Chain A
Amino acid sequence: MTAPFGRRLCEVAANQATGGYRIFSLLDREGPEPEPGQFYMLASEEGWGEGGGRPFLPRAISVAETAPAKEGIRLDFLIEGVGPGTDRLCELEAGEGVWVTGPLGNSFATPKQVNPVAAGAILVGGGIGIAPMAIWRRHLVEKGIPLRVLLGFRNEEHSGGLDELFCSGGTLCPDVGLATEDGHAGHQGYVTDLLVMMLAGDDAASAVVYSCGPPAMLEAVRALCSEHGVACELAMESPMACGFGACFGCAVPKPEGGYMRLCVDGPVVRGDAIAEVAHA
């Protein structure tokens, strides 16, 4: 599946606060439905570079969910204002224009595609990295693949998106387990504590782990899976100017030497395809 060539103007359908984040929805009249793990390059039509200054480059944002709309599809993103680009996206209102290129990059593979003997999936999301886990969870449920979801948050403010993406009828979906650093919900500690317990189980080897979250968490997930001989796929992030292989900015080291371009060789990467997830 290829993306439509070039950028297209989409309309903001909604932009709602959720904890410290925003659920940012676009109406995409032309694009194909994205696969879980894919991302888009987003830039507002107004107030983005034309007067000079910043933001200048489009921002790469993973898709959190998609649904049919009256004309086309709705694309949902989870966005935190952490700089001039995401701040600008956060302040957009319904009806404003957004330049969109995508869907870009690869997507998650089913447990059987990753490992022929794997039967189930363990999804591990941290903070704003829960976004691609949401669309992937829905696809797995629709495919009838057994799964368990582990989500970790620093605190309540940083659990934005949880209610919209992992709850049904106001209740947390039964396959979702929580860990919070401040202990306001679920296990007090890291989400990787929950993963350690799951990987210690007898049937862990028949699962594939899928993860997205802060780099330190992703590296912990990669190392744990490697230690337990469990295959994993990580949705990663890297500084990216273009999203289609042109700028060579999003280099990620390969274990055998050299670099991959995360925009086209990722953003979903097998745990054994990278040396480690670089983190501060």
Chain B
Amino acid sequence: MPDFCGIQLEHPVINASGTYDAIVARKVFGDELLEDFPFSAFVSKTITPEPRAGNEPRRIWETPAGMLNSIGLPNKGLEGFLAEDLPQLADLPVPLIVSVMATNREDFSRMVADVAARDEVAAIELNVSCPNVHSGLIVGENPAETEALLKVLRPLTEKPLIVKLTPNVAAPEVVAVAAESGGADAVSLINTLKASAIDPATRAPALAAGHGGLSGPAVRPIALQQLRVVTAVTEIPAIGMGGISSGADAAEFLAAGATLVAVGTESFRDPKAGSRIANELETGVYQRSLRI
């Protein structure tokens, strides 16, 4: 049973933020979802201080061994989440990790304090792939911004703070070290890779937003390398993710130093991918040679 920042989990497979709506999935699949919940902890979709409708469609595009998305973080906002979603997420049979994002330190502080104050919440993930409106810098792309944000947020709660690292930097390990210095309890990586596609029929960008984030098996080797360099220079636990589709993939990430792994895009193809991968890990079916 993995111990993640003092939280005991049944197995090492959780979901990537924004890739599973457990409330809606329960409506679609019924209580069978709860009886056979695919993940050992549940990470919410990112919530922001105010409600967001999300981006104009088209939002997704299939690419070789993966997909692009530019969803735009649709969510009910902090108040709506606490009032409507959190009580329903509390019914899940696993610990809850809430992902939060804001564009200034005051809003970030308010979100962390309000979310951490709720007993239903086991840990908080900080989505730092957003600009600080004061500096204009993407927090997670800048070590100083990341460390400064953590120094503000760290005193607000004793609950674990997880920093979701962006892969869109030259040296993710430098940002990871900054997060650790600022007091982060863990890092999770990778977020999606900035990417685009063009519809060859129309010669226009495939996504309405022009570009999006790439996920799926296409990103897996990149994610694994970023995980290796981050875990080499940090002491805090890491949640590894990026195209994990099987127990064999998960085993690679665990071998590269991850304490937990997260599944995202594969859940779109297989709603029970999380439990399948956990089972494949446990039974060791991944141990067959992958060399040919």
Contact = CB atoms under 8 A, between A and B. Distances in A.
Interface in B249-285: 265, 267-272
Given A2-B29, A4-B32, A5-B36, A43 B59 contact: no
Contacts of B233: none
Interface residues of A, number: 40
Given A56-B62, A57-B62, A245-B25, A259 B268 contact: no
Interface string B27-46: 11110110010000000000
Given A5-B30, A239-B61, A247-B19, A58 B24 contact: no
Interface stretch (A23-31, A173-181, A250-258): A250-258
Contacts of B122: none
A18 B98 CA distance: 50
Contacts of A85: 62
B29 A5 contact: yes
A53 B64 contact: yes
B160 interface: no
A264 B24 contact: yes
A5 B216 contact: no
A62 B250 CA distance: 34
B54 interface: yes
Given A2-B30, A244-B25, A259-B74, A7 B271 contact: yes
A246 B19 contact: yes
A264 B22 CA distance: 13
B272 A5 contact: yes
A170 interface: no
Question: Closest 8 CB pairs between A and B?
Answer: A245-B24, A2-B30, A249-B60, A6-B272, A242-B268, A5-B32, A5-B29, A241-B268
Interface of A: 2-7, 43, 49, 52-58, 85, 99, 101, 104, 238-242, 244-253, 257-259, 261, 264, 278
